[in-house]
């Protein structure tokens, strides 16, 4: 396993529901146009899909959009106070991630097993991991690249393994180190004999009690996992990047 750095992606998570950049854009357009239908049209999305997405988000985050039917004063939509606060939270997290030089990645070497459309199952040191591929075939050697910002950390309580259907990759592990930032903490989680890296907001770290020795569940979507061919040729470059990241981390401590 090696560490590298990649491009960041801000995501808020509540009850296994993710609020990401597409959702932030939708809320901004609703605030600007005063209409779900106009916001969806301007974004090239269907009104039905936009409403369905809002319902899914509100089930986890609470009321985000206030909708009024037409009448003497006309209909329309606007963000609730909660909706504005969620959007502000997302913007603060996005700014914090963009301010970093790069987002850490976990890089695993593996062999392609089953292929299911645009996804492929890869046998790695931590078991089968699903990811997006571009034309790999069975038995190909690949790198599995997992961005730390794509990894969701959850408490390993009495509820057992998380059952979120959107996250195909799930593992139980133990926190081995926490590199604290002002808003976002870089967390190293040991899974078997491999270290997986994750980014956790200060609030989530406090709520989950994230500290060395804490048992946690981690999960990440197959669509957020990249498979890169030519594992042997690319590994040397990743090793160099990992050493640079390690040197920078050592100098900060």
Domain boundary assignment for the chain: 13-98, 102-252
Q: What is the DSSP letter of 117?
A: T
Residues 53-89 pLDDT 10s: 999 999 999 999 998 876 544 468 999 999 999 999 8
Locate 214 and state its tokens.
């804490």
In this model, does residue 221 exceed pLDDT 70? yes
More confident residue, 168 or 5: 168
**CATH level 2 (architecture), domain 13-98:** Orthogonal Bundle (1.10)
CA 33 to chain centre: 29
pLDDT for 33 equals 94
Dihedral sign computed on CA atoms, order 215, 184, 152, 129: negative
Q: Which residues, in sequence order, are CB contacts of 41 under 8 Å at separation 6+?
A: 47
Instruction: Choose the weakest-confidence range: 90-104, 187-201, 214-228.
Output: 90-104
Mean pLDDT for all residues in the chain: 81
**Percent of the chain clearing pLDDT 70 (strictly above):** 77
pLDDT at 168 (0 to 100): 83
Give the mean pLDDT of 39-53: 94
For 102-252, CATH gives: 2.40.50.100
Q: What is the pLDDT of residues 111-165, one digit of tens each?
A: 999 999 999 999 999 999 999 998 889 999 999 999 888 899 988 864 555 554 4
pLDDT score at 161: 59
Q: Measured between alpha carbons, how far is 28 from 129 in angstroms, rounded to an integer? A: 35
Please, which contacts does 124-127 make with residues 24 or more away whose CB atoms are closer than 8 Å? 125/1, 125/192, 125/193, 125/194, 126/171, 126/191, 126/192, 126/194, 126/196, 127/171
Helices then strands, counting H and E runs in the chain, come out as: 6, 15
Residue-level pLDDT at 173 = 95
Q: Please, which pLDDT band fits residue 2 given cuts at 50, 70 and 90?
A: very low
Q: What is the distance of C-alpha 35 from the center of its chain?
A: 29
């Amino acid at each position: 396993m090696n560490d590298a750095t990649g491009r960041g992606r801000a995501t808020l998570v509540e009850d296994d529901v993710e609020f990401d950049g597409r959702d932030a854009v939708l809320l901004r357009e609703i605030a600007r146009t005063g209409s779900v239908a106009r916001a969806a049209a301007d974004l090239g999305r269907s009104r039905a899909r936009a409403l369905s997405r809002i319902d899914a988000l509100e089930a986890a985050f609470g009321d985000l959009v206030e909708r009024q039917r037409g009448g003497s004063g006309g209909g329309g939509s606007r963000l609730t106070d909660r909706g504005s606060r969620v959007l502000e939270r997302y913007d603060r997290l996005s700014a914090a991630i963009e301010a970093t030089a790069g987002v850490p990645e976990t890089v695993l070497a593996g062999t392609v097993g089953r292929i299911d459309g645009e996804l492929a199952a890869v046998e790695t040191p931590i078991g089968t991991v699903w990811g997006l591929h571009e034309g790999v075939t069975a038995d190909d050697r690949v790198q599995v690249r997992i961005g730390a910002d794509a990894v969701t950390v959850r408490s390993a309580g009495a509820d057992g393994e998380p059952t979120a259907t959107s996250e195909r990759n799930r593992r139980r592990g133990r926190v081995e180190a926490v590199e604290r930032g002002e808003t976002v903490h870089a967390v190293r989680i040991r899974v078997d004999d491999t270290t997986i890296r994750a980014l956790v907001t200060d609030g989530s770290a406090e709520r989950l009690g994230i500290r060395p020795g804490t048992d946690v569940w981690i999960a990440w979507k197959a669509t957020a996992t990249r498979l890169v061919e030519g594992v042997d040729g690319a590994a040397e470059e990743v090793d160099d990047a990992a050493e640079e990241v390690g040197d920078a981390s050592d100098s900060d401590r």
